[in-house]
């Protein structure tokens, strides 16, 4: 008999979050908890999952920018979860680099959501998973965090910090049998990237969600999505700093 399982998706009203919920519902016999700020949108998704796939889906409010609420959120979520828990953090914002340079306080708001909020809620959830001595954590970063490009270095900095945090969290949780997977996607075709120069190369959220699910179930430590970004970023990291600073991308 298959062990009971719950997937907790933080940022489930994002394009990739919604697509991931649908992928999980279609492929796994798991309860799904959709977490985010837009409760009406999340409830629409939950209703669709229940009708289309017959899964147990529910909604819990979550705001990455309100860390004082994260302890209660983690406690409430784990109380409602069943069996093996997979926590997926997808919450993120990405103001344009030129906007950040004109209004630097936007950088603080971005770091609160993309990094500080992630750290607080994941530490609370990690404590809960440790008590259960099992589970999985999936953190969606970005190829932008691998090196600071002039066109998006503020966003990249928030993701670079998230990558470092995730690597340390993986080391902490591994002895308890809790696997942490770091996903590094390239540009995604979502509302966050709409209108940007790279948007024509963006990956469809459904394909991204499928890749995230496969990487998680295979127990990957780090996965680029799509996989071609692995060798691309390896080559980019090897470019000497003196040359890299001259590049216009």
With a cut of 90, say whether residue 89 has pLDDT above it.
yes
CATH number of 5-244: 3.40.50.720
Separation of first and last alpha carbons in the chain: 52
Q: What confidence score (pLDDT) does residue 192 get?
A: 52
pTM given for the model: 0.91
- Is residue 211 within 8 Å of 218, Cβ to Cβ? no
Residues 6+ apart with CB under 8 A from 42: 12, 13, 34, 35, 36, 59
- Is residue 12 within 8 Å of 34, Cβ to Cβ? yes
Q: What confidence score (pLDDT) does residue 1 get?
A: 41
Point out which residues pair with 182 in neighbouring strands: 139, 222
What does the alpha-carbon distance between residue 158 and residue 139 come to, in Å, rounded to a whole number? 13
What does the alpha-carbon distance between residue 42 and residue 12 come to, in Å, rounded to a whole number? 7
- Is residue 138 within 8 Å of 125, Cβ to Cβ? no
Domain ranges of the chain: 5-244
Q: What confidence score (pLDDT) does residue 247 get?
A: 78
Mean pLDDT on 9-33 = 95
Q: Tell me the per-residue pLDDT of 109-161, one tens digit each, with 9 for 90 and over.
A: 999 999 999 999 999 999 999 998 899 999 999 999 999 988 899 999 999 99
What does the alpha-carbon distance between residue 241 and residue 92 come to, in Å, rounded to a whole number? 28
The percent of residues above 70 in pLDDT, for the chain, comes to 93
Mean pLDDT on 45-54 = 96
- Is residue 145 within 8 Å of 233, Cβ to Cβ? no
- Is residue 155 within 8 Å of 110, Cβ to Cβ? yes
């Amino acid at each position: 008999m298959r062990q009971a399982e719950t997937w907790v998706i933080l940022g489930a009203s994002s394009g990739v979050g919604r697509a991931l919920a649908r992928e999980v519902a279609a492929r796994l016999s798991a309860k799904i908890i959709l977490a985010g700020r837009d409760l009406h949108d999340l409830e629409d998704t939950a209703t669709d999952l229940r009708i289309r796939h017959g899964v147990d889906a529910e909604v819990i409010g979550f705001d990455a920018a309100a860390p004082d609420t994260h302890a209660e959120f983690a406690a409430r979520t784990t109380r409602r979860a069943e069996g093996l828990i997979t926590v997926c953090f997808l919450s993120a914002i990405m103001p344009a680099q030129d906007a950040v340079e004109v209004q630097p306080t936007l950088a603080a708001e971005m770091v609160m959501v993309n990094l500080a909020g992630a750290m607080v809620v994941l530490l609370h959830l990690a404590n809960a998973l440790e008590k259960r001595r099992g589970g999985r954590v999936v953190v969606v970063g970005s190829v932008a965090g691998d090196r600071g490009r002039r066109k998006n270095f503020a966003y990249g900095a928030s993701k670079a910090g998230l990558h470092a945090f995730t690597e340390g969290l993986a080391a902490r949780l591994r002895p308890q049998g809790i696997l942490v997977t770091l996903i590094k996607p390239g540009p995604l075709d979502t509302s966050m990237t709409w209108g940007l120069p790279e948007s024509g190369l963006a990956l469809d959220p459904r394909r991204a969600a499928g890749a995230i699910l496969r990487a998680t179930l295979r127990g990957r430590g780090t996965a680029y999505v799509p996989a071609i970004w692995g060798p691309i970023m390896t080559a980019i990291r090897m470019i000497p700093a003196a040359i890299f600073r001259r590049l216009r991308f």
